[in-house]
Amino acid sequence: MTAAVPGLHLPPDDDAGDESTLGGYAAVHKRPPAFEGIDGLSYSVELCADTTDDPARPWGAYLLFLRWRRIGAPGIDAHLETDFIIRGDDEAGVLAALGRMPLLTAKATLDALVRKQEGGPPKRKWWDVMAAEEDEA
């Protein structure tokens, strides 16, 4: 496998999985799925797991959405995360189960998290705000 280099486009490996799911998309494209949130900002998603307080299901998996800066140097400027979505006996099992989540479900989950933020999503998209500021100048 070729080492990942920022900005390097790798051709998809269509035999690596079902690209309509989180895990399949990552396998096919060799990068995490990314979405535009209802706030107009870009997010990538990571599948994460941690221990729970439940001895019957000691592992839980959740989604971590990383929000990318839109101005300045590329980087992360915030994140949103779900509660545990999958619970089970081991880390690998809960991550595999979460990886089968359809991309459309992950996008709906992101949008729900954005709506829950204090104040909800912005009323205007960032590009509309910038256009208005240019008109005022």
By the 8 A CB rule, do 15 and 27 touch? no
**Is 7 within the bounds of a domain?**
no
**DSSP secondary structure letter of residue 40:** S
Residue-level pLDDT at 1: 46
Residue-level pLDDT at 97: 98
By the 8 A CB rule, do 46 and 34 touch? no
Radius of gyration of the chain, Cα coordinates, nearest whole angstrom: 17
**Is 64 within the bounds of a domain?**
yes
Tokens of 95: 């991550």
Spatial distance between the Cα atoms of 45 and 64, rounded to a whole number of angstroms = 6
Higher pLDDT, 112 or 7: 112
Reply yes or no on whether the pLDDT at 41 is more than 80.
Answer: yes
**Is 49 within the bounds of a domain?**
yes
- Tokens 């929000």 found at: 67
**CA within 13 Å, CB half, 61:** 21
Mean predicted confidence (pLDDT) in 105-133: 77
Mean predicted confidence (pLDDT) in 109-133: 74
**Is 13 within the bounds of a domain?**
no
Q: What is the domain count for the chain?
A: 1
Domain residue limits at 104: 22-136
**Is 57 within the bounds of a domain?**
yes
**Is 26 within the bounds of a domain?**
yes
Find all residues with CB under 8 Å of 12, minimum gap 6, and list them.
Answer: 19, 28, 29
Instruction: Name residue 35's beta-bridge partners.
Output: 43
CA distances from 96 to 21, 63, 111, 124 (A): 11, 13, 23, 37
**Is 3 within the bounds of a domain?**
no
Reply yes or no on whether the pLDDT at 57 is more than 70.
Answer: yes
Mean predicted confidence (pLDDT) in 16-40: 91
At 61-99, the pLDDT tens digits run 999 999 999 888 889 999 999 999 999 999 999 999 999
**Is 45 within the bounds of a domain?**
yes
Give CA 113 to chain center in angstroms. Answer: 11
